[in-house]
Amino acid sequence: MKKLVMILLFSAGMVQAQEVKTVPQISVSGEGKIKVTPDEALITVAVENTGKEAAEVKKKNDEIVDKVLKLIKQRGIPTADYQTQRVNLYKNYDYNTKKYNYVANQTISIHLKDLSKYDKLMMDLVDSGINSIQGVEFKSSKIKEYESQARKKAMVDAKQKAEDYVSVLAGQKVGKALVISDNSFTNYPRPVYASMKSLDVAYEQMPEKETLAIGEIEIISNVSVSFVLE
């Protein structure tokens, strides 16, 4: 009896499997691209000092960092918009002198929301004692809004592609979307990487000139979409 029940269940399953129909569909990709002029910058600067004694090196580094942080505050930048990213104090072997020394460094990031202050702030930071500008990343305060626009453009592009392909097929049209896969990214321009030596030359020669080329942020949304064919 049990064997008969198992045979009946197996037969019912086979019938159901045979009744499952493959849904005709089309899979395409779509791209949405938005180019905008950035209105903010994330600036990363570093202070570094080297010496024979750890305590002396740390003290010297801390004094300069204190000046840098006070300067940032004096320039009206809110406390929430600047932060210490990394602090190091380590022993280092100099292969040229065959001696050990100590290195202290600290990295600070500054979220500058008014790009008109960029040149003056950078000059003041150099004067305050920073050793290097490790990077400047341009951003937009409306990035979420632009990303949303790019995603919508990507979906419109995908739908248009699907309709183009199906337009040559008699008796078929593009139906609802079955699967949507997102692969979006934002390209932030990062034009500034400078050592202290190059900074000294640049700011001495061009103290009142424009030194910022912000370019454009390219926001790209890529999607893969599978549509039902009706």
Residues 6 or more apart whose Cβ sits within 8 Å of residue 46? 105, 106, 107, 108, 130, 131, 132, 133, 134
The low-confidence residues of the chain, meaning pLDDT below 50, are 4-5, 8, 15, 191-207
CB neighbourhood size of 53 (10 A): 10
Q: What is the pLDDT of residues 36-67, one digit of tens each?
A: 999 999 999 999 999 999 999 999 999 999 99
Residue-level pLDDT at 23: 85
The pLDDT value given to residue 228: 95
pLDDT at 214: 72
Determine what percent of the chain falls in helix, strand and coil, rounding each to the nearest 5. Answer: 40, 35, 25
Query: What pLDDT shows up at residue 186?
Result: 61
What would the pLDDT profile of 127-162 be if each residue is shown by its tens digit? 999 999 998 999 999 999 999 999 999 999 999 999
